Amino acid sequence: MANPFAIQASVEDGLSIVAIEGFVDAHTAPQFENAIQQSVDAGRLRIVVNCEKLNYISSAGLGVFMSFIEEVRERGGDIKICGLTPKVKHTFEILGFQDIFEMLDDQQTAIQRFNAR
Amino acid sequence: MSSIERKFTLKVPSSTENLALIREFVTTIGNQAGLDESGVTQLELAVDEACANVIEHAYGHDITKEVIVRAIFDSEALRIAVIDEGRGFDPNKTPQDSVEQLIHERKSGGLGIRLIKTLMDEVSYEIVPGQKNELHMIKKIRKE
């Protein structure tokens, strides 16, 4: 059964880039959570989540963003979201994420936003 | 379109691994029922949320239990029931906190129910804890 999910974590310009692909649901969200946790544990608190190849996200995935954002900001970092397709963006917007998270068009713009601070 | 009622049932072991199968099931039925693309997307997410709640909360990840998704549609509406025999809960007691408040309290609970209520046209519950719980959701089929 198709439940494709992939995650790639890298460091670019001193920022943590976490690229999530495919379907983030209650089954795959723990892998996403682990990737963010590893970045936070390593003290890399400026995090870009690249969603260009994200097809689907449920509240399990949205909960990952919510569970880290306050700690990350308290420690001087941020989580910025980029590359959302209109369909996936709609899910974020139903819960009002646009008021809490910065959502950028692409990874380069997200990196520039961090470096502009 | 004929107004003959069509009925489908999917019964799967209570594991998050099966959420993909459940989504494929309801997506196929949503298309067959004549929902538009946005309607199918909303249905897919709402049913995923309902089933994830059952798997994680009603059954506590007990894979020996079963989640049942029943779908009935005619030309007017698609009716979905998510049925389990686990721990019931009072949906009216799900938190109404804002997302900001949930973040502050380091909680993310209740998001699924919130999404379901936004995505579907009607939502209701029949709950007998430990015996049978049914979450009923209706998506109206909008004519072109």
Main-chain dihedrals φ then ψ at residue B116, nearest 5 degrees: -55, -45
- Taking residue B143's Cβ as centre, other Cβ atoms within 10 Å add up to 8
Which residues from chain B sit within 8 angstroms of residue A78, using beta carbons?
none
Q: Do B112 and A91 touch (CB under 8 A)?
A: no
- Report the chain A residue with the minimal C-alpha distance to residue B97: A95
Give the model confidence (pLDDT) of A37-53 as tens digits: 999 999 999 999 999 99
- Taking residue B104's Cβ as centre, other Cβ atoms within 10 Å add up to 12
Q: How many Å apart are CA A22 and CA B71, to the nearest integer? A: 26
Checking if the pLDDT of A117 tops 90, the result is: no
Which residues from chain A sit within 8 angstroms of residue B36, using beta carbons?
none
In this prediction, residue A3 carries a pLDDT of 58
Which residues from chain A sit within 8 angstroms of residue B103, using beta carbons?
66-67, 69-70, 100
Contacts of B87 (CB under 8 A, 6+ apart): B57, B58, B59, B60, B129, B130
Q: What is the Rg, in whole angstroms, of the alpha carbon atoms belonging to chain A?
A: 13
Inform me whether the C-beta atom of residue B101 falls under 8 Å from chain A C-beta atoms.
no
Q: Which of A5, A40, A66, A87 to probe by mutation at the B interface, max B CB count within 10 Å? A: A66
Q: Tell me what percent of the residues of chain A surpass a pLDDT of 70.
A: 97
Give the model confidence (pLDDT) of B120-142 as tens digits: 999 999 988 778 999 999 999 97
* Kind and range of the H or E run holding B126: strand B122-128
In this prediction, residue B97 carries a pLDDT of 73
Average pLDDT for B60-77? 95
CATH code for residues A5-115: 3.30.750.24
DSSP state letter for B144: -
Q: Do A67 and B106 touch (CB under 8 A)?
A: yes
Q: How many Å apart are CA B101 and CA B98, to the nearest integer? A: 5
Q: What is the mean pLDDT of chain B?
A: 90
In this prediction, residue B123 carries a pLDDT of 95
In this prediction, residue B91 carries a pLDDT of 65
In this prediction, residue B95 carries a pLDDT of 64
In this prediction, residue A14 carries a pLDDT of 87
- Distance between A82 CA and the closest CA of chain B, angstroms: 20
Of B17, B102, B114, which has the smallest distance from its Cβ to A66's Cβ? B102
Residue A109: pLDDT band with limits 50, 70, 90: very high
C-alpha to C-alpha distances, A23 to A10, A27, A54, B29, B126, nearest whole angstrom: 20, 9, 7, 20, 30
Q: How many Å apart are CA A71 and CA B76, to the nearest integer? A: 47
Checking if the pLDDT of A82 tops 80, the result is: yes
> Which is higher by pLDDT, A102 or B109?
A102
- Report the chain B residue with the minimal C-alpha distance to residue A3: B20
Inform me whether the C-beta atom of residue A109 falls under 8 Å from chain B C-beta atoms.
no
> Which is higher by pLDDT, A117 or B39?
B39
CATH code for residues B6-140: 3.30.565.10
Query: By mean pLDDT, which of A58-72, B30-44, B66-80, B93-107 is the weakest?
Result: B93-107
What tokens appear for B48 in the block?
């995923």
Of A27, A90, A95, which has the smallest distance from its Cβ to B99's Cβ? A95
Q: What is the Rg, in whole angstroms, of the alpha carbon atoms belonging to chain B?
A: 15
Checking if the pLDDT of A80 tops 80, the result is: yes
Map out the domains of chain A as residue ranges. 5-115
Residue B94: pLDDT band with limits 50, 70, 90: low
* Kind and range of the H or E run holding A107: helix A107-115
Query: By mean pLDDT, which of A12-26, B44-58, B94-108 is the weakest?
Result: B94-108
Closest CA to A108 of A48, A53, A65, A54: A48
Closest CA to A6 of A40, A45, A50: A50
Residue B144: pLDDT band with limits 50, 70, 90: low
Q: Which of residues 3-62 of B touch A (CB under 8 A)?
A: 16-21, 23-24, 41, 44-45, 48-49, 52, 55-56
Contacts by residues B20-28 (CB-CB < 8 Å, ≥ 24 positions apart): B20/A1, B20/A2, B20/A3, B20/A23, B20/A25, B20/A27, B21/A1, B22/B47, B22/B48, B22/B51, B22/B67, B22/B69, B23/A25, B23/A56, B23/B47, B23/B48, B24/A1, B24/A2, B25/B69, B25/B71, B26/B69, B26/B71, B26/B80
- Report the chain B residue with the minimal C-alpha distance to residue A64: B108
